[in-house]
């Protein structure tokens, strides 16, 4: 019902508009949609306001059902979840799982009840759903909303109801799970049931529906109804599976229910397991085991209870409701509840056990290996880690359920967690957000029958990025040695030291998978992308040695005769050292006499450790003249500054700033030897619609300006004196830089050109026969008559249509051709944009992106506020080490092949990545595909060789070697993946896809692939678990949350205020990001700054509004932005320390830097901010955001776990959606 | 006929006119039979220190298609205050300002001694003079330095209020902005791209492109500062420009081995012309182009940059192997025409050892009245002094240059104008006095002469159209009026009017009179101009044949002889020198291309068609002076027999000034006798020709190549090639005389030439 209705709305997931989820989800699958919507709302609500949420969330809860299951799982074991391991111990757990379902059902009911309560007033489930929709509007609204919605729903009532009901359940369940973790266990069966569960919760209302509703819905309802009593548990499961299954189930419901109900019976099971789990749960789990029980009982009380937080206020509400609807269920819940409440604390304690449980859950595959560690939890990753923790990681959902408990328990930090989280936002936010939960379709409301209740998923119960990050930090205390093949490095968020023992440092190369599938079939089946993110010139920390420079003499580097791979540790010396066999192609090559060395008894050359190329993963060769363009030793590179001097540029102060800055900046041109002067020569051009070149020859008393007006046919008007050595021409240059702002102070020229500007730089480099970099400072759309002239094509109407992709494409072909020419010359273009309106970044960025350059954008540039950011970017950009005229080739061992490349470069064939410029911040993502089988013994090797001209004009080859394992078991693959890298790959893949595909298709593809990955895991590595259980591989348990962030990014889901330029800009920007940057970009770092422990940074909190405390101050970093969020009720002392004013209202929101105050707190804060900035390749301007201020909207945009204003799903909603997708794939 | 010589001299002094015939045959038929057409050499701005300009405007005939100027030949009715136009016979009332006119109170223009009179026109704005330097920077360092110095020096010679501009070029073309403080700005153009005037002006920011004008903002009013950015008054940018010139660098683009530097002369000129077109149309301006080599790229390219491909020679041209010739010529012609429309003249100063493309570019100067100066290097006194002389001043302290001249010729009914030969361009003004028969640049009665100086002389050709059966009344006179409007160097606009009249004579009855009125010098020059004009457009040998035929016909017409008896042939005094002129003309570089590069030929011809009669005659037949102990310096025959060991010869061929020391003199000089006190007279002898040469060098423009050589010296060739080869290796022994020096040539001597002429003239078969 809803579906239909919804569909119209926005079936797609992405549908942003409607209250989110509801419409969107509902459409998707009747069931799901609903859940989503509700969820979103709930999500926020969840954590916070158990109590208030109760009600508010109630709606979500309905959706929650699945969650509950998870919960149960969770509780059981976060482990379960994670491992999927059910196999192991799972057996028992599973049952538990089933129980969970029941429980879930219970939970659902539980949660629902709460809602129901709200709704209670409301007559029917549908109303609920309606409310759901309404929910979004207001928390309280449920009722009011209900009515409102009702009408709409009416049309589709049946479906909607069913769906809505179901979905919400599932979702709600999810949440409930948290609370009712116990219920979850049943999850597997539960899923389908979950809906029913919902139904359960809704039952009361549903019943009405049933009556009114058509068969399907009715069925569901009916089912619900029945289930409720007997096996609401079933419902719970339904909640998840619910969506999908619902329809079909509907008829069956009863049956399923029964079964499900049985599951309840399982409770015994659960109980059986419970024992195990319980113990585990004891802490969190209580829910699980209890879950089964709880579900019912809890609803009313339990939920409140579970929500304890809510308990306080909301409880009454929910309880009321619950009691109403859920009565039967309630009973169980009650019991649960108690456990819960109590459990909450205990769970943590017990967590360890949970972990065990988790292990159990772990997929069979994993078990094998993990087995041992199994005890630990997930062997590979977290072996060392606390048991409690792992679970969380593993069990995607399961953890979710268990999360809170689990977290708290295992981790010391958790306590904090719990504390802050619950306390602050939950309650308030929740209420507000409840609305969202409600499922959209108005029709639904009309539909009398349908009632949805939502279950909320406790956000703490789902995998937490912060937890994962902190775990990894805790784990990575030893330096990371690269010698072990197939070992995944610590996460990018972790500070660690690297020892190069034959493979490239993760700072240079990160792979998505460190265990590659042996065969193409496996790879295809898993859908895990095989890719490496390579940052060839990455800057290393001072305590790590930069790659050694190796000189093989006149003959040049020694290479394999056939595949031309460079000498590396993978070359096997044979015949006493007279020959070597290539590790890539197996070809045998003679060792040149001058390179000969004897072998020791192990077959290693005796000089192995004296030669970097035989013992290290990264090193450089000195290239001979054969490796140079035209067989000529290259000239030192040149930097050319091209400055827009049109009216806008002058008026904004840009010209003045640039000129002033350059005077000092020119002393910091890149050099390899700090003692020496840089050999980089510089040149200057200004332009509006004509170009002005400057002759700054040292012999001149005054610079000379050469105006070229013939922009249609650009050329360089002078040779001698254009590119000069800074020291020699210092006086002339300074004179020039002093005069430029004056000369154009009165300019009235507003038109600019752009194509000719780059042509000019290119021609200058050509004339000087060198490579180099252009720094273009540009303000406006180039509309003056000239090649590359553009027109304003920003058309918001195209957004969302199939033509949207054209907006990302270059407007004219001119720039593509130009880029090609630039690359041929080694001319890298860095573009600094200062637009006041549309400038068509998509087109202007073509050349920078193709030449390895960067685009910097300062919209509405104002000298006062943006100067610092711009100057820091400029300084960094000018000073950073960079190579020119680079060619990168990735060679691989037989069996795989580099097939696709992402980044800022140009390719004229399929293998050579040509980079006019390659700086230390640029990363290239390389995708590999099988073209044959790999063997487990040899693993897979790759060698990335970059031939480039250093900034001192030396031609070099930088070589990075990487060896990874190969596996024939999928479980191995899943155990050694790196989600951050996968996300890096996915984002680049998707963003490039935008050029040729509608945005929606791109999003769907992403979701689909991700679902396949997870489904494959589920199917092959975690099969024993029940179908309704969401089980995530430990290494990828953050995949959904991160993927959601990608999907919600401005590029894929633009808000109304996001300009096309911004999207194009971000799209291009992501293209060359490395993993640390893409990680923080998609999942910003949010630090509470209320107090500091000495030396270390405070532990970050999750990107959700619920995590913000009104009394706190938070720093949020995205890699591009830096926000300081100040809570409205922050302590005076705190404010005084930071801002020097005790009053919240006196804080100046336009601050871009913190006042320098003489107190440790202020000092520390500034240190932190500085250190953040130092970590990123772009300077982040600090923005002070006061709570409730209008600028908070911008800030909220980066709270990526929340529903976004542009319609992006909340984490919880998305997780549910993901689960649904996975289930669909599995079924 | 002293009377005629005096008459001619008097006329020349007063009106700057030399007619070939000073009595005109009264019918068309007879005029044709005279062989040499009725024509004249006219020097429009002949210096007349004794002629103060009058401060009012000329009175014009009121007939629309006449507009002749009131002149002494007009009949005036002082009572009725009416005058009759002597060309169209229209009766015109005097304007009010002439109310006081009477028999005894006549305005100047009515007095016979003011047959040439100059008016100053007060109307209209006065425009400053404009000098736009277009400088080639692909020069050797030394050359460039010298050129820079010359240019800097020239700034001090310019009138302070004159506008000056600078364009430099090499591979690129740079237009320097002169008004700026601090940074020196210039606009740069690619040297390979032809641009329209509009594009150039847009690119220089002189006009807004049409597109942007449409975009709403009303077109900005012409900002005078902007307009003049590139052309600034000398007094204001004196220092700036001096510095700018001082900092001028050689074209920095590397010239690979085996290549010529890339020189964008064509585009540089386009830009110069375009700039002036846009800013100062119809104003006197002088574009001064300094080049040190041929254009090697872009439009107007004369030769490619490959050194292995030599620049075209006459041989190539004759074989049609000069691939750039036609295109380049066409390009420069088009540019010259554009330039002349706006009254801007173009000078070319070409200093290089090899050719610089004057052949293609000559039209720039020929059409616009600019100078061409050719030298070996900018670092020679030839260039330096010549260039300095461009800015010479007259007795009034005014520059000897005038701009934007328009010459109009009006004729009485019996005569029509066929055309002119000189540095001018047709204005295509068809009128009743224009003949259908074109000679030179014809088909019009008005010509534009963008650059004029006091010696600029045009050859003007007429046709007597009176039919044989319509006799002219006895005592009737044919009249011609030359009206020259121009911008004086002091920025005044002036009109100079010369009205001349000649008597009609019946060729049947008065042939002797006509013969005696023949001005053989003028006729020789006028015929030579016709020959050169033909040579420019036709094949050389044909021109020679045509000249020979004319000469023979003339001799037949006026010679006295018995048929078929060459020895009886005699010419009257008034024609006696004419054949000799023709002999030397035939050998001159104006008609002979042998031993001359195309550039040299163009250069010589350029000067030949613009110099006055005296100079032209020197060009045709150089003057040879002899210095010896035997007596005072004396002119001697331009003959090999004049080359004697004990003589010093000074030859002035206009382009060269050669001092030749005879064998003995040379030996003495080598022995150092001139250093000894007792041989003071020898020293004097050596100095004498030098002093005389100096005198010539002082006045001549362009300065001749000064050659000091001696017997057996390689440069003696300049002399040997000019003298009549009366003694050659062929006849040396036949003559058996010791005097003179044999010339190694197969050319015929004057003697042989005359013999043949006589034979042909008396032959009854022709």
Cα distances from B639 to residues A1001, B346, B676, B723, in angstroms, run 101, 39, 33, 5
- How confident is the model over A325-381, as pLDDT tens digits? 343 333 333 333 333 333 333 333 333 333 333 333 433 333 333 333 333 333 333
Q: Do B188 and A721 touch (CB under 8 A)?
A: no
CA distance B352 to B318: 24
Percent of chain A with pLDDT over 70: 62
Among the residue ranges A105-114, A544-553, B58-67, the one predicted with the least confidence is A105-114
- From chain A, pick out residues whose CB is under 8 angstroms from the CB of B211: 785
pLDDT for res A177: 37
Predicted pLDDT of residue B227 = 57
**What is the least distance, in Å, from the CA of B144 to any CA of chain A?**
17
Question: How far is B606 from B532, CA to CA, in rounded Å?
Answer: 10
Mean pLDDT (whole number) for B309-331: 91
pLDDT class of B263 with cuts at 50, 70, 90 = very high
Q: Which residue did the predictor score with more confidence, A549 or A292? A: A549
HSE (side-chain half, CA atoms, 13 Å) at A725 = 7
pLDDT of residue B101: 87
Closest by Cα among A592, A486, A497, A353 to A977: A486
Nearest to B188 among A708, A751, A785 (CB): A708
For residue A1023, the model assigns a pLDDT of 65
How buried is residue A822: exposed, middle or buried, by Cβ count under 10 Å (0-12/13-18/19+)? buried
Structure confidence at residue A48 (pLDDT): 38
pLDDT at B733: 59
Residues B42-47 have a mean pLDDT of: 93
Determine which of B141, B181, B186 to mutate to test the interface with A (most A C-beta atoms within 10 Å).
Answer: B186
- The answer to whether residues A66 and A174 touch, using CB atoms and an 8 Å cutoff, is yes
**Residue B205: its chain A contacts at CB < 8 A?**
690, 709
Closest CA to A205 of A439, A458, A401, A47: A439
Provide the pLDDT for residue A806. Answer: 87
Q: Which of residues 770-829 of A touch B (CB under 8 A)?
A: 785
CA angle (B13 as vertex; B10, B14 as ends), nearest 5: 85
From CA A72, how far away is CA A400, in angstroms rounded? 9
pLDDT of residue A120 exceeding 60? no
DSSP secondary structure letter of residue A626: G
Looking at residue A755, what is its pLDDT? 93
Taking the alpha carbons at both ends of chain A, their separation in whole angstroms is 22
Is pLDDT above 50 for A716?
A: yes
Query: Minimal CA–CA distance to A303: which of A433, A193, A453?
Result: A453
pLDDT class for A278, splitting at 50, 70, 90? very low
Distance CA A336, CA A735 (A): 80
- Between A5 and B721, residue with greater pLDDT: B721
* The predicted structure's pLDDT at residue A480: 92
Residue A690 clears pLDDT 60, i.e. is over it? yes
- Cβ atoms A815, A755 nearer than 8 A: yes
For the record, the structure tokens of B242 come out as 């001096």
Lowest mean pLDDT among A322-326, A1194-1198, B414-418, B452-456: A322-326
Positive or negative: CA dihedral A439, A440, A441, A446: positive
Which class for B736: exposed (0-12), middle (13-18), buried (19 or more C-beta within 10 A)? exposed
Region of residue B238 (left: phi > 0; alpha: psi -120 to 50; beta: else): alpha
Q: Which residues of B touch A701 (CB under 8 A)?
A: 247
pLDDT higher than 80, residue A424? no
Distance from CA of B44 to the nearest CA of A (A): 43
**For residue A1032, which of A353, A358, A94, A177 has the smallest C-alpha distance?**
A358
Instruction: Assess A705–B contact: CB distance below 8 Å, yes or no.
Output: yes
Start-to-end Cα distance in chain B: 31
- Closest Cα partner for A135 from A115, A155, A120, A154? A115
Give how far B333 is from chain A: nearest CA, Å.
Answer: 25
Q: For B98-106, what is the mean pLDDT?
A: 87
User: Quick one: closest CA in B to A733, which residue?
Assistant: B183
Of A315-319, A773-777, B156-160, the poorest mean pLDDT is in A315-319
CA A176 – CA A64 distance, rounded (Å): 6
From chain B, pick out residues whose CB is under 8 angstroms from the CB of A700: 247
Q: Is A715 on the interface with B (CB under 8 A)?
A: yes
Which residues from A are below 8 Å from B182, CB to CB? 702, 735, 739, 742-743
- Calculate how close chain B gets to A671, using CA atoms only, in Å: 28
Report the distance separating Cα B205 and Cα B186, nearest Å. Answer: 12
**Is the distance from CB of B153 to CB of B165 less than 8 angstroms?**
no
How does pLDDT run across A197-253, given as a tens digit for each residue?
333 333 333 333 333 333 333 333 333 333 333 333 333 333 333 333 333 343 333
ipTM reported for the complex, 2 dp: 0.85
A–B interface: beta-carbon pairs under 8 A? 73
- The predicted-structure confidence for B684-695, as pLDDT tens digits, reads as follows 999 999 999 999
B254 — contact with chain A (CB < 8 Å)? yes
- pLDDT at res. A1057: 81
Distance from CA of B249 to the nearest CA of A (A): 10
CB-CB neighbors (< 8 A) of B221 in chain A: none
Nearest to A304 by CA among A281, A285, A330, A277: A330
Question: Is pLDDT of A98 > 90?
Answer: no
- The rounded mean pLDDT for chain A is 70
B351/B356 Cα distance (integer angstroms): 8
User: For residue A436, what pLDDT band results from cuts at 50, 70 and 90?
Assistant: very low
**B182·A720 Cβ contact <8 A:** no
Q: How far apart are CA B211 and CA B219, in angstroms?
A: 11
The pLDDT value given to residue A298? 36
Nearest residue on chain A to B252, judged by CA atoms?
Answer: A720
Task: Tell me the mean pLDDT in the region A41-61.
Answer: 37
B203 inside 8 A of chain A by CB: yes
Percent of chain B exceeding pLDDT 90 equals: 54
How far is it, in rounded angstroms, from Cα A338 to Cα B324?
A: 104
More confident residue, B601 or A406: B601
Tokens of A979: 């989600």
**Does A1172 contact B at CB distance below 8 Å?**
no
Angle between helices B265-279 and B325-341 (to 10 degrees): 20
Q: Name the range with the highest mean pLDDT among A324-338, B69-83, B736-750.
A: B69-83
pLDDT in tens, A1101-1154: 999 888 888 888 899 999 999 999 999 888 888 888 888 888 888 888 888 888
DSSP of A233-293, one letter per residue? TTHHHHHHHTTTHHHHHTTSHHHHHHHHHHHHHHHHHHHSHHHHHHHHHHHS-SHHHHHHH
Residues of B in contact with A719 (CB under 8 A): 252-254
Strands B232-233 and B163-169, bridge-based pairing: antiparallel
Q: Give the C-alpha separation, A456 to A426, whole Å.
A: 12
Q: How far is A1009 from chain B (nearest CA, A)?
A: 51
Beta strand residue intervals within A990-1128, DSSP E: 1085-1088, 1113-1117, 1121-1126
Angle at A293 between CA A287 and CA A297, to 5 degrees: 100
Question: What's the rounded Cα separation, in Å, for the pair A211 and A448?
Answer: 9
- Is the bond preceding residue B702 a cis peptide, omega within 30 degrees? yes
**Residue B209 is nearest to which of A721, A736, A785, comparing CB atoms?**
A785
- Bridge partners (DSSP) of residue B350 are B291, B374
pLDDT tens, position by position, A784-796? 989 999 999 888 8
CA-nearest residue to A696 within chain B is B183
**Beta bridge pairs of residue B167:** B134, B175
**Tokens in use for A917?**
């410029």
Instruction: Find the mean pLDDT for residues A160-167.
Output: 36
Interface touch A719/B203, C-beta < 8 Å = no
Q: Inform me whether the C-beta atom of residue A587 falls under 8 Å from chain B C-beta atoms.
A: no
A676: which DSSP letter? S
Q: Do A702 and B254 touch (CB under 8 A)?
A: no
Cβ contacts (< 8 Å) between A710 and chain B: which residues? 189-190, 193, 195, 199, 203
Q: Is A718 on the interface with B (CB under 8 A)?
A: yes
Query: Tokens 């820091």 identify what position?
Result: A872
Which tops the pLDDT comparison, B21 or A1027? B21
Cβ-Cβ contacts under 8 Å, A735 against chain B: 182
B189 close contact with A: CB closer than 8 A: yes
Say what the pLDDT of residue A1039 is: 92
């Amino acid at each position: 019902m809803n579906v239909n209705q919804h569909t119209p709305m926005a079936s797609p997931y992405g549908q942003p508009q409607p209250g989110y989820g509801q419409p969107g989800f509902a459409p998707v699958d009747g069931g799901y949609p609903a859940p989503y919507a509700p969820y979103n709302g709930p999500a926020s609500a969840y954590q916070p306001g158990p109590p208030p949420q109760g009600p508010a969330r109630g709606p979500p809860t309905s959706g929650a059902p699945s969650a509950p299951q998870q919960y149960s799982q969770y509780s059981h074991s976060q482990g379960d979840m994670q491992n999927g391991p059910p196999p192991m111990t799972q057996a028992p757990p599973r049952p538990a799982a089933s129980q969970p379902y029941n429980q879930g059902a219970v939970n659902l009911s539980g949660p629902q009840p709460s809602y129901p309560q709200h709704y209670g007033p409301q007559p029917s489930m549908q109303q609920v759903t309606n409310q759901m929709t309404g929910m979004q509007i207001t928390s309280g609204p449920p009722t009011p909303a209900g009515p409102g919605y009702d009408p709409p729903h009416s049309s589709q009532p049946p479906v909607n109801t069913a769906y809505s009901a179901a979905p919400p359940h599932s979702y709600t369940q999810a949440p409930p799970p948290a609370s009712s973790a116990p219920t979850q266990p049943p999850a597997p069966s539960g899923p389908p049931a979950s809906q029913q569960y919902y139904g359960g919760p809704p039952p009361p209302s549903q019943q009405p529906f049933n009556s009114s509703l058509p068969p399907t819905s009715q069925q569901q309802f009916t089912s619900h109804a029945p289930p409720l009593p007997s096996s609401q548990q079933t419902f719970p499961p339904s909640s998840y599976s619910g969506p999908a299954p619902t329809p079909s189930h509907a008829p069956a419901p009863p049956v399923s229910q029964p079964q499900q109900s049985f599951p309840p019976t399982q409770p015994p099971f659960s109980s059986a397991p419970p024992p195990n789990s319980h113990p585990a749960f004891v802490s969190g789990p209580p829910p699980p085991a209890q879950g089964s029980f709880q579900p019912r009982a809890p609803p009313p009380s339990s939920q409140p209870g579970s929500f304890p937080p809510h308990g306080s206020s909301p409880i009454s509400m929910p309880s009321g409701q619950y009691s109403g609807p859920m009565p039967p269920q309630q009973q169980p819940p009650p019991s649960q509840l108690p456990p819960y409440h109590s459990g909450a604390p205990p769970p943590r304690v017990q967590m360890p056990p949970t972990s065990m449980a988790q292990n159990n859950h772990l997929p069979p595959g994993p078990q094998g290996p993990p087995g041992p560690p199994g005890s630990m939890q997930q062997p590979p990753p977290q072996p060392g880690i606390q048991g409690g923790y792992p679970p969380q990681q593993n069990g995607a959902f399961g953890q979710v359920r268990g999360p809170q408990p689990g977290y708290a328990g295992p981790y010391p930090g958790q306590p904090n967690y719990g504390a802050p989280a619950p306390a602050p936002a939950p309650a308030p936010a929740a209420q507000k957000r409840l609305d969202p939960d409600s499922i959209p379709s108005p029709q639904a409301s009309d539909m009398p029958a349908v009632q949805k209740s939502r279950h909320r998923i406790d956000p703490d119960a789902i995998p937490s990025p912060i937890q994962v990050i902190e775990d990894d930090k805790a784990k990575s205390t030893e330096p990371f040695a690269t010698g072990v093949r197939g070992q995944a490095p610590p996460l990018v968020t972790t500070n660690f030291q690297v020892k190069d023992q034959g493979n490239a440092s993760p700072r240079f190369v990160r792979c998505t998978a460190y265990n590659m599938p042996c065969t193409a079939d496996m790879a295809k089946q898993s859908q895990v992308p095989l890719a490496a993110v390579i940052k060839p010139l990455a800057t290393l920390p001072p305590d790590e040695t930069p790659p050694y420079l190796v000189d093989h003499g006149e003959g040049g580097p020694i290479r394999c005769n056939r595949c031309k791979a460079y000498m590396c540790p993978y070359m096997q010396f044979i015949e006493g050292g007279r020959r070597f066999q290539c590790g890539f192609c197996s070809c045998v090559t003679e060792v040149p006499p001058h390179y000969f060395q004897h072998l020791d008894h192990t077959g290693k050359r005796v000089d192995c450790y004296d030669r970097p190329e035989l013992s290290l993963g990264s090193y450089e060769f000195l290239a001979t003249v054969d490796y140079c363009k035209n067989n000529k030793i290259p000239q030192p590179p040149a930097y050319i500054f091209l400055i827009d001097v049109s009216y806008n540029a002058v008026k904004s102060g840009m010209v003045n700033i640039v000129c002033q800055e350059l005077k000092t900046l020119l002393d910091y041109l890149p050099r390899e030897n700090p003692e020496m002067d840089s050999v980089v020569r510089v040149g200057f051009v200004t332009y509006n619609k004509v170009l002005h070149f400057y002759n700054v020859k040292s012999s001149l008393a005054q610079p000379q300006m050469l105006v070229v007006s013939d922009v249609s046919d650009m050329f360089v008007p002078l040779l001698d004196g254009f590119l000069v050595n800074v020291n020699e021409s210092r006086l002339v240059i300074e004179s020039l830089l002093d005069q430029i702002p004056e000369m154009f102070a009165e300019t009235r020229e507003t038109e600019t050109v752009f194509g000719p500007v780059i042509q000019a730089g290119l021609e200058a480099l050509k004339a000087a026969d060198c490579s180099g970099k252009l720094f273009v400072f540009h303000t406006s759309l180039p509309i003056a008559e000239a090649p590359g002239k553009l027109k304003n094509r920003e058309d918001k109407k195209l957004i969302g249509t199939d033509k949207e992709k054209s907006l990302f494409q270059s407007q004219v072909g001119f720039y593509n051709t130009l880029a090609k020419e630039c690359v041929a010359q080694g001319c890298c273009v860095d573009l600094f944009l200062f637009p006041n309106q549309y400038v068509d970044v998509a087109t202007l960025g073509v050349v920078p992106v193709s030449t390895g350059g960067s685009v910097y954008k300062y919209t509405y540039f104002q000298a006062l506020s943006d100067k610092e950011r711009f100057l820091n970017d400029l300084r960094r950009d000018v000073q950073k080490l960079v190579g020119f005229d680079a060619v990168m080739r990735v060679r691989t061992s037989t069996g795989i092949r580099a097939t696709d490349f992402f980044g800022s470069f140009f390719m004229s064939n399929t293998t050579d990545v040509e980079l006019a410029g390659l700086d230390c911040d640029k990363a290239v993502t390389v995708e590999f595909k099988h073209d044959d089988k790999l063997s487990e013994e040899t693993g897979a090797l790759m060698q990335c060789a970059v031939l480039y001209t250093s900034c001192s004009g030396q031609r070099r080859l930088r070589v990075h070697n990487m060896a990874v394992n190969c596996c024939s078991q999928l479980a191995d693959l899943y155990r050694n993946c790196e989600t951050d890298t996968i996300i890096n790959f996915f984002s680049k893949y998707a963003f490039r896809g935008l050029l040729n595909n509608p945005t929606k298709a791109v999003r769907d593809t992403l979701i689909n692939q991700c679902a396949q990955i997870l489904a494959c895991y589920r199917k092959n590595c975690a099969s024993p678990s029940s179908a309704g259980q969401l089980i995530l591989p430990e290494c990828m348990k953050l995949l959904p949350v991160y993927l959601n962030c990608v999907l919600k990014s401005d590029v894929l889901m633009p808000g109304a205020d996001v300009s096309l330029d911004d999207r194009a800009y971000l799209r291009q920007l992501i293209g060359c990001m490395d993993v640390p940057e893409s990680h923080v970009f998609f999942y910003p770092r949010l630090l509470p700054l209320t107090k500091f422990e000495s030396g270390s940074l405070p532990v970050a909190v999750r990107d959700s509004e619920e995590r913000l405390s009104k009394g706190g101050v938070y720093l949020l970093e995205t890699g591009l932005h830096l926000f300081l969020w100040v809570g409205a009720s922050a302590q005076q002392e705190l404010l005084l320390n930071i801002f020097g004013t005790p009053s919240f209202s006196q804080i100046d929101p336009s601050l871009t830097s913190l006042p320098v105050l003489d107190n440790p707190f202020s000092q520390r804060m500034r240190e932190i901010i500085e250190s953040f900035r130092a970590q990123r390749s772009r300077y982040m301007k600090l923005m002070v955001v006061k709570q409730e201020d209008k600028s908070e909207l911008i800030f909220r945009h980066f709270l990526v776990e929340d529903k976004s204003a542009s319609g992006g799903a909340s984490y919880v909603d998305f997780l549910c959606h993901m689960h649904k997708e996975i289930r669909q794939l599995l079924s | 006929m002293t009377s005629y010589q005096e008459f001619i001299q008097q006329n020349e002094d007063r009106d700057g006119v030399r007619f070939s015939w000073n009595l005109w045959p009264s019918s068309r038929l007879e005029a044709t039979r005279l062989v040499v057409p009725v024509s004249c050499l006219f020097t429009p701005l002949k210096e007349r220190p004794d002629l103060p300009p009058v401060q009012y405007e000329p009175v014009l005939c009121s007939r629309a298609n006449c507009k002749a100027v009131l002149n002494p030949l007009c009949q005036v009715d002082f009572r009725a205050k009416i005058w009759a136009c002597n060309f169209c016979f229209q009766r015109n009332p005097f304007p009010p300002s002439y109310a006081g006119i009477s028999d005894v109170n006549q305005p100047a223009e009515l007095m016979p001694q003011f047959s040439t009179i100059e008016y100053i026109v007060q109307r209209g704005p006065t425009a400053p003079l404009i000098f736009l330097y277009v400088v080639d920077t692909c020069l050797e360092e030394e050359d460039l330095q010298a050129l820079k110095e010359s240019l800097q020096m020239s700034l001090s010679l310019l009138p302070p209020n004159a506008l000056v501009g600078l364009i430099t070029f090499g591979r690129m073309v740079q237009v320097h902005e002169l008004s700026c403080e601090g940074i020196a700005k210039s606009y740069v153009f690619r040297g390979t791209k032809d641009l329209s005037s509009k594009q150039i002006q847009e690119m220089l920011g002189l006009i807004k492109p049409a597109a942007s004008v449409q975009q709403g903002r009303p077109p900005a009013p012409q900002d005078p500062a902007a307009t003049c950015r590139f052309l600034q008054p000398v007094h204001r940018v004196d220092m700036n420009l001096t510095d700018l010139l001082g900092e001028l660098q050689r074209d920095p683009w590397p010239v690979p081995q085996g290549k010529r530097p890339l020189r964008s002369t064509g585009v540089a000129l386009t830009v110069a012309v375009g700039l002036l077109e846009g800013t100062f149309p119809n104003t006197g301006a002088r574009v001064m182009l300094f080049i040190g080599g041929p254009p090697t790229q872009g439009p107007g390219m004369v030769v490619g940059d490959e050194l292995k491909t030599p620049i075209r020679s006459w041989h190539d041209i004759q074989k049609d192997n000069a691939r750039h010739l036609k295109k380049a010529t066409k390009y420069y012609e088009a540019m010259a025409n554009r330039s002349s429309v706006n009254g801007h003249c173009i000078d070319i100063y070409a200093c290089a050892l090899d050719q610089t493309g004057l052949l293609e570019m000559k039209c720039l100067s020929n059409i616009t009245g600019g100078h061409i100066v050719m030298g070996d290097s900018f670092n020679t006194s030839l260039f330096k002094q010549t260039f300095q002389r461009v800015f010479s001043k007259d007795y009034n302290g005014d520059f000897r240059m005038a701009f934007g001249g328009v010459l109009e010729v009006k004729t009485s009914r019996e005569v029509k104008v066929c055309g002119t030969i000189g540095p001018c361009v047709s204005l295509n003004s068809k009128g009743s006095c224009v003949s259908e028969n074109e000679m030179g640049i014809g088909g019009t009665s008005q010509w534009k002469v963008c650059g004029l100086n006091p010696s600029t002389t045009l050859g003007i050709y007429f046709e007597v159209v009176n039919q044989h059966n319509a006799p002219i009344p006895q005592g009737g006179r044919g009249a011609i009026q030359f009206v020259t409007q121009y911008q004086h160097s002091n920025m005044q606009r002036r009109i100079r009017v010369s009205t001349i009249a000649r008597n009609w004579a019946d060729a049947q009855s008065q042939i002797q009179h006509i013969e005696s009125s023949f001005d053989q010098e003028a006729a020789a020059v006028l015929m030579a101009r016709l020959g050169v004009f033909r040579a420019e457009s036709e094949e050389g040998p044909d021109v020679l044949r045509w000249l020979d035929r004319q000469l023979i016909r003339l001799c037949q017409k006026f010679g006295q002889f018995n048929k078929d008896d060459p020895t009886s042939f005699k010419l009257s005094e008034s024609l006696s020198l004419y054949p000799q002129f023709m002999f030397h003309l035939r050998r001159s570089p104006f008609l002979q291309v042998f031993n001359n590069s195309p550039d040299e030929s163009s250069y010589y011809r350029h000067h030949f068609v613009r110099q006055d009669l005296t100079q032209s005659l020197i060009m045709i037949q150089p003057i040879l002076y002899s210095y010896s102990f035997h007596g005072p310096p004396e002119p001697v025959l331009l003959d090999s027999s004049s080359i004697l060991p004990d003589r010093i010869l000074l030859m002035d061929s206009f382009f060269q000034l050669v001092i030749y020391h005879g064998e003995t003199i040379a030996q003495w000089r080598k022995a150092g006798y001139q250093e000894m006190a007792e041989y003071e007279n020898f020293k004097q002898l050596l100095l004498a020709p030098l002093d005389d040469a100096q005198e010539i060098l002082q006045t001549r423009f362009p300065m001749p190549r000064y050659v000091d050589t001696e017997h057996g010296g390689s440069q003696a060739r300049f002399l040997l090639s000019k003298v009549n080869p009366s003694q050659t290796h062929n006849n040396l022994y036949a003559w058996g005389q010791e005097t003179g020096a044999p010339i190694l040539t197969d050319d015929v001597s004057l003697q042989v030439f005359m013999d043949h002429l006589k034979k042909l003239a008396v032959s009854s078969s022709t």
